[in-house]
Structure 1
Amino acid sequence: MKSRTYPVTDDHIHIDPVNGRGIEAVKDFSRAGGTHLFLVSKPSWSLSVNPSSGADYAKVFDETIRIAALIAETGVVAFPVLGVHPAEITRLTERMPLMDAVEIMKGGIDCAARYVQEGKAVALKSGRPHYDVSPALLAASNDILMHALTRAADCGCALQVHAETGPCSDIADMARHAKVPVERVVKHYGSPDTPLHPSLIARHEAIPDLVRRGRPFTMESDYMDENTRPGAVIGPKSVPRYTNKLVLSGRITEQDCFRIHAETIQKVYGVTITLF
């Protein structure tokens, strides 16, 4: 891979060699200027896993680690992020009582935490449904999210949160209660009004203004890599393309790129971002 003048990191992306373009999508990311990515584990059903215990999520996590190794062969650095998608609660409760679903999801988070403790992953993911659910389901989801925050505190790692649109200010209170630094709780598909760390979709119109204000944020594509939904949410080239476009237009500088794609990433996740 050719040398870069600044790093470009996608903070939330999925790569799926079975159901999507797989490594070809990573190559597109690299050719567009991408250097690092956070490879987020997919929901269990995407890999035809039907968990009946927390340990069953290991199948999903092992596949994520395997894909990270394949990505490394392309020269792109992949940081695995493991956890249980909050929408799992809806699927699980179709075939079991709510409390059983909660215990399975908490067990899955415990399983993911062991991967972090063993150095196989760098962060956890959790959250709550971004769609309307019953009060009981929402309360159970917040219980699971609190468990994930507690495990992130135990591991000393960041937590990516998938939740409803908006600031999610109550999650910041939950993080403080769990003794997790709020700046290490990442609001996936975030917005500037969140007290959490915002991971913004790459084309977010507020990026130049946030740079001028010195507001820490990161950029993501949330690329799903599913052949049935090509380019969703936005394509794998998006983070490098939008970054390069902002630099070429003079709206951000190369030094700004280092702050977004290296310095901030390092503070949030505790990883090292270097060019090669």
Structure 2
Amino acid sequence: MLDEAGYRPQDWDRQTRGQVTMLEAIVQSWNIPAVWLLHEMGIDTGMGFARKLGIPLAEQEDRNLGLALGGLATGVSPLDMAQAYSAFANQGVMHAAHAITKITTRDGHVLVEAAPASSQVMSPATASTMTLMLQQAVARGTGRLAALERPAAGKTGTTELPATEEFAAAVPTSAKDAWLVGYTPDLTAAIWVGYDRTDKDHYLNTAGGSVPAKLFREIMTRSLQGVPVADFVLSAPVQAQVSAQDPNPVQSDQTNKKQSGKSDQGGGHNGKSKKWW
């Protein structure tokens, strides 16, 4: 069991496993490895990387190990998450998100057109490695209900209910927020399910791997109709390593298969953390 200054994160099945690979930790949504890794690399490093991806952080309130599980003081928006994840699919380059691409006159004359700023927020090798792991999360992990008939990568997430008297009667699998953030080589999407104000009469009985994953699959399937299927572009070193280890990596042979509806759970941090499962 990991114990850092009294903080004891738990995995969704309340089990401990010793050493595991990063791949399996992501695929199975185990929380303890993420917290351990943040502790080893340092909170300053973790916060710095999150900020490079445009994730808003409070300097003091978010400076804790719960950050590894998304335990943020004020949270993030779906737009924040979609912008951040798009860098994984784009060789580490992140483009500033925007809602309006251009404004034209009635006869088609362009008055103004968006020119979003872009920045290299991680190396192509790091982005490619993340894509390979997140593909597995969709192919055989907690995001499997989001699988498409084309390459897809993503991660599920769920925010636990506050540990207060108001929610004492709620079942253990109840939640405040449920997420699926994912992408294909062409499109990134962030799905959030929840209430503007969570109270004893308004909370969720679903997890990120259920309703949000199904919504992601439906929205992406419709949005990409008519778009040719393409594989993810991986950096040359990562592609060479993948080819050497597995001549048939998870790419365009992904299929949208029905899966059993067993719910997942995750560990929290002082009643405010996001449990990724």
TM-score surpassing 0.5? no
User: Which is richer in helix?
Assistant: 1
Larger Rg: 2
Report the TM-score, using the length of structure 2 for normalisation: 0.26
